[in-house]
């Protein structure tokens, strides 16, 4: 199920503990601490629920803004909120940049593409080895994203500090 070389390399990886604030955008009225099990770059799908956050506010806006920009017409009726989340992790894999992902089979030149297979395999292996999350470079902004495996993180370690509406018109004008 998991690539043995990836598992071996991850067993030698050094994990970090984090006590930080991160940013997340959700549709209005969606619980900001509820994750998703839908296939994504760092979500292997299935029954592994992940919470995507960004270490920078602009990083969170860039991630969701990019997705919205793929629509033929900007979806003007969707209302979103940006949330500041206080979180703690104890066993998080940290990848400083995209080159740090290359030894795990991630094609650095295609990192911004929608080819998620290598990232998903890496995430599934990290989850299997009981890491609580991944600190990875954003594909859309010069910042890092923190992806938390919700079944590995204590519920007390996540707290929404604030929520504000997102003004996409102002963001697009910048």
Q: Residue 1 pLDDT > 80, yes or no?
A: no
Chain segment 140-170, per-residue pLDDT in tens: 999 999 999 999 876 658 999 999 999 998 9
Q: Kindly state the tokens that stand for 165.
A: 């509406």
Contact 21, 72 (CB under 8 A): no
Residues sharing a CB contact under 8 Å with residue 70, sequence separation 6 or more, in sequence order:
none
pLDDT of the residue at 27: 95
The pLDDT confidence band at residue 9, using thresholds 50, 70 and 90, is confident
CATH architecture of the region 4-173: Alpha-Beta Complex (3.90)
Chain segment 87-146, per-residue pLDDT in tens: 999 999 999 999 999 999 899 999 999 999 999 999 999 999 999 999 999 999 999 999
Task: Supply the pTM of this predicted model.
Answer: 0.92
- Range 20-35 average pLDDT: 95
Task: Kindly provide the residue ranges of all beta strands, DSSP E only, lying in 3-150, ordered along the sequence.
Answer: 15-27, 50-54, 80-94, 133-137, 144-149
Q: Kindly state the tokens that stand for 71.
A: 């629509």
pLDDT of the residue at 156: 58
- The domains of the chain are located at 4-173
Contact 162, 85 (CB under 8 A): no
Q: Residue 45 pLDDT > 80, yes or no?
A: no
Q: Which residue has the higher pLDDT, 11 or 107?
A: 107
pLDDT of the residue at 94: 96
Q: Which residue has the higher pLDDT, 51 or 8?
A: 51
């Amino acid at each position: 199920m998991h690539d043995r070389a990836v598992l071996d390399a991850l067993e030698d990886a050094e994990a970090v503990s984090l006590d930080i604030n991160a940013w997340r955008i959700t549709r209005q009225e969606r619980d900001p601490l509820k994750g998703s099990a839908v296939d994504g770059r760092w979500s292997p799908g299935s029954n592994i629920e992940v919470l995507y956050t960004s270490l920078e506010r602009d990083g969170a806006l860039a991630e969701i803004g990019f997705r919205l920009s793929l629509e033929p017409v900007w979806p003007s009726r969707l209302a979103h909120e940006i949330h500041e989340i206080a979180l703690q992790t104890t066993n998080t894999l940290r990848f400083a940049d995209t080159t740090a992902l290359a030894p795990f089979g991630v094609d650095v030149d295609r990192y911004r593409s929608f080819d998620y297979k290598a990232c998903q395999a890496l995430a599934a292996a990290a989850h299997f080895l009981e890491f609580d999350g991944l600190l990875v470079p954003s594909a859309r902004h010069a910042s890092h994203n923190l992806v938390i495996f919700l079944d590995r993180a204590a519920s007390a370690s996540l707290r929404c500090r604030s929520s504000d509406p997102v003004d996409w018109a102002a963001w697009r004008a910048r």
